[in-house]
Amino acid sequence: MVIYGVGLLAFCYLTGMYIGDVLGALLGVKANIGGVGFAMLFLILLSNKGIDAGWLDKKSQEGIAFWAAMYIPIVVAMSSIQNVAAAVSGGIVAFLGGLLGSALAFLLIPVLSSFAKK
């Protein structure tokens, strides 16, 4: 059943959105900065920890896998409604923010890969 694991998903989503709102307020931006990304990161970390520790049963794992598979199309749909032309015409900050975020993500690949099970 897909309802299993939704509690963990909801916790990760609410925590991620809160952190994104706080980060936006700290930077003086009236927007959520990275809330969805933080939520997905928490979901990955906590679900892997739950599987390793044994407190996520098989049904919960299947529920989380279902919602994780649904998550990607939802994020793509959410990003498609953003006005990229207005963001780019607003200044170079949007471009530099995307470039810096992508560069940092690429730099973190070796760090995250070191945590992978061998």
The tens digit of pLDDT for each residue in 51-103 reads 888 887 888 888 877 877 777 677 667 666 666 666 667 678 777 887 898 89
Residues 109, 78, single domain; the answer is no
Residues 44, 75, single domain; the answer is yes
Total structural domains within the chain? 2
Residues 18, 49, single domain; the answer is yes
Residues 99, 89, single domain; the answer is yes
Residues 93, 75, single domain; the answer is no
pTM: 0.60
Residue pair 67/6 in contact (Cβ under 8 Å)? The answer is yes
Is the per-residue pLDDT at 108 higher than 60? yes
Residues 34, 70, single domain; the answer is yes
Is the per-residue pLDDT at 2 higher than 90? no
Give me the domain span that covers residue 106: 83-118
Residue pair 2/67 in contact (Cβ under 8 Å)? The answer is yes
Residues 52, 92, single domain; the answer is no
Looking at residue 3, its amino acid is I
In whole numbers, what is the pLDDT of the chain averaged over residues? 80
